[in-house]
Amino acid sequence: MELESKILSKEILQYLYAGGKTLGTAESCTGGRIAQVIIAVPGASNYFKGGIVSYSNDVKERLLHVDSKLIEEQTAVCQGVAEAMVKGACDALECDYAIAATGIAGPGGGTSQIPVGTIWIGYGSKDDVRTLKIEEDNGRDINIAKATNIALRLFLDYYKEKNPIVEDTDAEEVK
């Protein structure tokens, strides 16, 4: 696991633990990598509720309540699905916040409209979801690693923005 991922995961742990908040994940193209990075840091059980790997559309629909019409009309690789995955994860996992990823990691599966390397990241709470679209193909492994790090960084920045009261979380070590 990359050093950047570990640093981001530890910082998320410190902030969420100090704030008494919980986090979950809903992942498609990252296949659980975001959750893997989160639980790599000791103490994650204090705030991480779990993750749903929704690699197929029927799992997105059944477990995360993504509207099938949205997938039919816009495909599973779109902003609306990333948003719905965040909201669905917050509901299904009963957590305060969630991080989601849906896209085409490659090497196959892309189209002229949605090329390989297109990944939508969603993050936030049920009531405030933000998204970012990644559009760069660096090969499957790098696409997944990059999406994971970007998702963690976006969520951490979001959390700090929403919770500016949290100060000096490094002072308290989480066990």
pLDDT digits (tens, 9 = 90+) for 20-53: 999 999 999 999 999 999 999 999 999 999 999 9
Name the domain count of the chain: 1
Residues 27, 35 contacting (CB under 8 angstroms)? yes
Sign of CA dihedral 118, 82, 151, 103: negative
Using 50, 70 and 90 to split pLDDT, how confident is the model at 1? Answer: low
Q: Is the peptide bond preceding residue 164 cis, with omega within 30 degrees of 0?
A: no
Which CATH number goes with the domain that contains 85? Answer: 3.90.950.20
Domain that holds residue 79: 3-171
pLDDT digits (tens, 9 = 90+) for 119-169: 999 999 999 999 999 999 999 999 999 999 999 999 999 999 998 864 554
Using 50, 70 and 90 to split pLDDT, how confident is the model at 91? Answer: very high
